[in-house]
Amino acid sequence: MNPADGTRVGVDVGGTFTDIVTVHDDRVNVTKTPSTPDAPETGVVNGLEKSADDAGFEFGDVAFLSHGTTVATNAVLEGTWADTTLVTTEGFRDVLEIARQNRPDIYDFDAEKPAPIVPRDRRFEVPERLDERGNVLRDLDEDAVRELAADVADSGAESVAVSLLFAFENDDHERRVAELFREEGVDASLSLSSDVLPEIREYERTLTTSLNASLKPVMDRYIGSLDERVRERGVGAELKIMQSNGGLITAEAARGRPVNTLLSGPAAGVQGATFVAQRSGVEDVITMDMGGTSCDVSLVEGGDPLISTDVTVGDYAVGVPMIDIHTVGSGGGSIAWVDKGGALRVGPRSAGADPGPISYGRGGTEPTTTDAHLLLGRLDPDRFLSGELDVAVDDVRTAFEAKLGDELGMSAAEAAQGVLDVANANMQRALRVVSVERGYDPRDFALVAFGGAGPLHACRLADDLDIPKVVVPQTAGVLSALGLLISDVLYDYSVSRVRRIEEVSPRDVRDVFADLHDSGAQRLADEEVPEDARFYERTADLRYAGQSFEISVPVPDGEIDEHAIDTVVERFHERHEQRYGHADRNEPVELVTLRLRARGGVDTPALEPPASEGSVEDAVREERAVTYGGDARETRIYDRAELPADASFDGPAVVEGAESTVVVHPGQTADVDEHGNLVVDTGGGR
């Protein structure tokens, strides 16, 4: 079945809710169900069943099924990975232990580095050695490898990581180790650094390979279970998984390379925000995804999310390409508390999905950000989350008085305002990290706010940072799930070739890119991506000789010759000056890594435009007192579903949608564009 002919389904699992967006006959249907953290696949299946009932489709109608998952992320954050063995070059057993020279806290003499992914008694050496260009200095001792294989087989390890010195230049020894392990009956999954991350930096390469190995059994069990359960219900579409780089891969590929899915859910949100912003004519945006447990922010320049190979997940720096996302523990379920010094704090601990905030009526007792909004009139208890939750306002007020107000000497309302102020300060710092600290001026960007809680905070944050425009998508509460429906198939390939630029020959670069291109083309062909929907993007990482880190620049299309290499070098100087404020064209430049991105374009579903009947006045539900910055103001409450296209109104206003609520502050103006997005002019910018 052609995906365009059937129902398209995107499923995003969050810490509190599992979101399902379906598109059929250009109609969008949204479903939210509680997540089931102990068995995420159960929440997915529950959501699919509810969505099928809501939207009226059969499981056999599903022609496209994509999924954003936090299974790999949670395994890293909680340390619940598989029992893993590491095989490395003789003399390099403790690379994971030594790590980098930087300390977790430079002023804390008792600070400890994170525990290695693989404990020391599971790390083994094999005699072999290559030089920095991949030449063999010492042959692989195959007898030693066979002896080690027998020990590993007896140990019962679930997974094995192989990371040998300079394997990115020559992978022969790594592949031979894998062959010998199989010959000796090692029944564990294998991860080779030359497959996972064939790049320089011994620690990052070994760490990433070890992480991949440790996550393989975890993801294999989850995806296998999920795939089996959706098949039992008659879904025939191939399950696709969102990667951290913003592209989709097959479930089978995700099982083999789970380290590429560490930011699966947040990456889908950035893709959805980019898509929505471009439909509104905006290409430079800061995305803000605030759900129940955290807030993820990222920057998009010229319609392209910024990609980084230096992203930290939990305590570990992972070297694979990821959308540059910064996360803070500030969500709708973030718990407010008073520390020992008497200061009000919000998060990072969250009430999660069970029991959730007090206002969910499921037994929660700790005051949260969502509860603060309810007390200040921003959320209507009678319509909170479509009326599905049992909201007790008196319980919320009592908790704020007893757990915050009494300690702080404040009323419940004052404590609630304080909670929002602290939460906003946390998110403002996050927005500065991805903009100001990266050399970007927030005044040049729009803020795309989504997630169940993002639109509640966005207009205040934009005003504080002089961001001129806020875009709140029509499907803001489930934008990550929508992003899963519009993302391309994407595979990243790379290989390090550390050379002074004068030593780099165009032929060598052509040969490397040809090999990477062949790998990408084969993968896209295997996924039956049509020839005219296959695209390839080449980049090169360069640095000044002596620098520790490099900058990635695009490689010109067409033939690679001396002129193309000169162009790459000039682009490096320009990018260096933009980022750091200086460049020196007389300094020697080094090539470090060559990269190729193979992209398979997907058919973007057409979305039904919003209704244009009625007037703005028809969308007014009521007026009620809402508090802004400690001052209560009579505020119009709008039903978002009733707002016509081209509607315009002034703040203060609250716009209530099925899965998210937008707070427009006094002095701001809101418009509905032709695609149903709410665009708020904050009066900022330059």
For the segment 410-456, what is each residue's pLDDT rounded down to a tens digit?
999 999 999 999 999 999 999 999 998 888 999 999 999 998 899 99
Task: State residue 630's pLDDT score.
Answer: 86
pLDDT digits 0-9 by tens, 509-568: 999 999 999 999 999 999 889 999 999 999 999 999 999 889 999 999 999 999 999 999
Q: Which of 600, 625, 641 is the last residue of a domain?
A: 600
Task: State residue 394's pLDDT score.
Answer: 84
Same domain, 482 and 547: no
pLDDT digits 0-9 by tens, 76-115: 878 889 999 999 999 999 999 988 877 767 787 777 788 8
Same domain, 505 and 448: no
User: Around 439, how many Cα atoms within 13 Å sit in the side-chain half-sphere?
Assistant: 10
Residues 316-330, mean pLDDT to the nearest whole number? 89
User: Around 240, how many Cα atoms within 13 Å sit in the side-chain half-sphere?
Assistant: 29
Of residues 607 and 598, more confidence is placed in 598
Q: Which residues pair with 328 in a beta bridge?
A: 295
Q: How far apart are CA 575 and CA 553, in angstroms?
A: 8
CB of 130 closer than 8 Å to CB of 136: yes
Establish if 244 belongs to a structural domain: no
Establish if 422 belongs to a structural domain: yes
Establish if 451 belongs to a structural domain: yes
Same domain, 119 and 162: yes
Same domain, 335 and 398: yes
Domain count for the chain: 3
Residue 36 three-state SS: coil
> 3-state secondary structure string, 439-459?
CCCHHHCEEEEECCCHHHHHH
pLDDT band at 686 (very low <50, low <70, confident <90, very high): low
Same domain, 537 and 574: yes
Same domain, 470 and 350: yes
User: Around 289, how many Cα atoms within 13 Å sit in the side-chain half-sphere?
Assistant: 27
Rounded to the nearest integer, the mean pLDDT of the chain is 90
pLDDT digits 0-9 by tens, 292-306: 888 899 999 999 999
Establish if 551 belongs to a structural domain: yes
Residues 650-662, mean pLDDT to the nearest whole number? 91
Same domain, 134 and 180: yes
Neighbours of 365 (CB within 10 A): 14
Same domain, 213 and 90: yes
pLDDT digits 0-9 by tens, 203-252: 999 999 999 999 999 999 999 999 999 999 999 899 999 999 999 999 99
**Range picked from 95-99, 362-366, 503-507 for highest mean pLDDT:** 503-507
In this structure, the strands spanning 123-126 and 84-89 are parallel
> Global pTM?
0.87
The torsion angles phi and psi of 151, rounded to 5 degrees, stand at -65, -40
Task: State residue 682's pLDDT score.
Answer: 93
pLDDT band at 391 (very low <50, low <70, confident <90, very high): low
Q: How far apart are CA 380 and CA 456, in angstroms?
A: 13
Q: Which of 600, 619, 653 is the last residue of a domain?
A: 600
Q: How far apart are CA 384 and CA 430, in angstroms?
A: 28
Q: Which of 201, 219, 237 is the last residue of a domain?
A: 219
Sheet holding 62-68, edge to edge: 27-34, 17-24, 7-13, 62-68, 239-242, 248-250, 489-500, 589-600, 534-544, 551-554
Establish if 667 belongs to a structural domain: yes
Given a cut of 50, whether residue 1 has pLDDT beyond it is no
Same domain, 291 and 387: yes
Domain of 637 in residue numbering reads as: 283-487+606-686
Establish if 181 belongs to a structural domain: yes
User: Around 425, how many Cα atoms within 13 Å sit in the side-chain half-sphere?
Assistant: 10
Q: How far apart are CA 359 and CA 374, in angstroms?
A: 8
Tokens 């140990």 label which residue? 155
Task: State residue 470's pLDDT score.
Answer: 96
Task: State residue 450's pLDDT score.
Answer: 93
Given a cut of 80, whether residue 16 has pLDDT beyond it is no
Residues 367-375, mean pLDDT to the nearest whole number? 92
Establish if 559 belongs to a structural domain: yes
Same domain, 414 and 558: no
Tokens 């499921």 label which residue? 362
Establish if 297 belongs to a structural domain: yes
Task: State residue 390's pLDDT score.
Answer: 58
pLDDT band at 37 (very low <50, low <70, confident <90, very high): confident
Task: State residue 386's pLDDT score.
Answer: 45
Task: State residue 529's pLDDT score.
Answer: 92
- The percent of residues above 70 in pLDDT, for the chain, comes to 96
Given a cut of 70, whether residue 661 has pLDDT beyond it is yes
Tokens 């290559």 label which residue? 130
pLDDT band at 660 (very low <50, low <70, confident <90, very high): confident
Given a cut of 60, whether residue 5 has pLDDT beyond it is yes
Given a cut of 80, whether residue 364 has pLDDT beyond it is yes
Least confident of 515-524, 597-606, 652-661: 597-606
Given a cut of 80, whether residue 189 has pLDDT beyond it is yes
Same domain, 476 and 504: no
Same domain, 309 and 361: yes
- The percent of residues above 90 in pLDDT, for the chain, comes to 65
